[in-house]
Structure 1
Amino acid sequence: MIIMSINGQLITFFILPRKEASQMYYLFSHQKPVIFTIGGKFISSSSWAHEKKRFSDYELIICLKGAVYLQINHQKYTVLPDEVLLVPYPSEVQGYQKSDSVIFFWLHFAANDRHTFLTKRYSDTQLSEIAQNGLSDYFILPDKFKLLDTQEISVLVYQLLDSHTHDTFYFEESNYLMTYLLLKISSQFLQGIRTQHTSNIYYTRMMHIKSWVRSHMSVRLTVTDIAHNFGLTPQYLSRFFKQNQGQTLIEYINQQKIKVACELLLRTTLSVKQISNFAYFKNEKQFFLQFRKLTGTTPLHYRQIHGPIHTNNPYVDPELPVPKKALLRLEREAKEKH
């Protein structure tokens, strides 16, 4: 409210607060699984652009390398590595620019029925509340955002694409796997929102700690060593990391080791013993125990069930602490295959 004097008279002006801008989001019920229709992994080493198509279902694009240039109806998008794009339906999709070299997952799915999905607009404030408290009966997805952990999502995609059509419950299995994948993506999206509202100092410190740990995986790390490097007490570091990461430092270190092992199992012909060394484990026994604990299976079985649909190519997440010798082996095998 503003009171001004005009020609000797007091005039009161009421200023209405500006309405906060909102964005469109997609909500899917987690009471019924979505219906997975088709999907794959697209790789192009030459110039490529998406042909013009009209979709009658949703498409999820997860970029791994390069940039995907898509126009959805009248809106243009550039999808970069580690980014997810959800193409709604009905939509007309076409490439508006050619990509020089690109790798991405593409997955088509449909809602179970018209009562199991919604589209809603939320402001940043409303979205923050959802990130903290969740939504009853629904999970939420934006049209585009950057993943926090692409490796976690990639493993789930490979499991989905490796489903066998001759299995008795193939359709049920693929539908539930697709739903679980979407739930994980939604979880990462909301985690990212929560992180944005965390103190920048804490967030930056976490990034520095995780980066330092990944770059020193070749030595046997302890919580005391890491704490000393950052001028912290081991007790404070353990508590700080657990609160911000949702896991202990040792769990994070073992998770990074297993991620390296999974990459090498799928992308190379290295033996399990060689991989246990490249993945920073002191012996095979420790490697087997941690691998089964985190993946629920053995290294060889993991390679057997996921290897057939994993195209051998030299691209590796740059944040993954793969040793240089292993990267050279991976690049050599990829060249030999092509």
Structure 2
Amino acid sequence: MEQPANLQTQTTKPQPKAPTGQLRKAWADLWKMKALYIMLIPCLIWYFIFKYLPMYGLIISFKDYNFSEGILGSPWAEPWNKHFTMFFHSPYFSQLMTNTLLISLYKLLFGMFPAIILAVMFFECRVSWLKRWVQTLSYMPHFLSWIVIYGISIAFLSETTGLINRWITEAGWNAVPFLNSTQWFRSILVSTEIWKDLGWGAIIYLAAISGIDPTLFEAAKVDGASRLRMIWHITLPGIRNVIVLLLILRIGSILDAGFEQVFVFYHTRVYEVGDIIDTWVYRTGLEQMNFSLGATVGLFKSAIGFVLVLGANKLAKKWGGSIW
């Protein structure tokens, strides 16, 4: 007895398709961009060696580490959170957290917008030779070390021999201790970092602006839009994802207030406003050979940064931009 056609259709199970087509397409795409992946290999190796392998050393956060016994041979700390408690109950903890967060937030708030503005100015500039010269001069300080920048700061801001203080004293006022004053120290840190990284940060935004569809600007010109209107409605929305991406990355490293810069600029007179977590770890962990405490603080910073990145990315999704 023959079954109805519709019954045969219902009882026949569809055979799963072999993923060979997808694999071939993925391999073809990989082979097509093989040069880029080959260039990426050294970066991946560097990250693996210097970022992932050192994670093994986080074990000493829960041990009383010493050189003679090594990481595995060192005894476990009793209790296990001994070094965490030591850091959190330190009399300097609140001061360190306050200084670190304030310096990082100041750099984040006052350092991001000037780079965006400079990138827009470069894009809108129609004098090519002026654009090239200003762009070159603006990102050259990025390649200077903080030692050199500190020397430049002394030449301009020194209380006795600084050029600015000479102008101030010649005008009949008292010299200002820019580098030795708790009132000025954070401002000096923020302003010198902005000057150092302004042009370099503008390159990223300028590249993003260059990727905007030029037909949008042409259509806006036809409609009679001014340059300010095009910047507000086309340029800035066009780089919104890049702005959000860089913002998320900087929020994730908000507890890194710039160890090298602060270490070069600070001294005992400005510890109250300039001593951050990393400089305290350097004095306590390296100079006093307390490596377990240093690793503990590093683990604490990484955990906080991880949570901040997740939170910032979730919040950024509401604005239409995120990392993943």
**Structures share fold, TM-score greater than 0.5:** no
Name the structure, 1 or 2, with higher relative contact order (CA <8 Å, separation 6+). Answer: 2
* TM bracket, shorter-chain basis: under 0.3
Superposition TM-score, scaled by structure 1 size: 0.24
Which one has a larger percent strand, Structure 1 or Structure 2? 1
Superposition TM-score, scaled by structure 2 size: 0.25
Which one has a larger percent helix, Structure 1 or Structure 2? 2
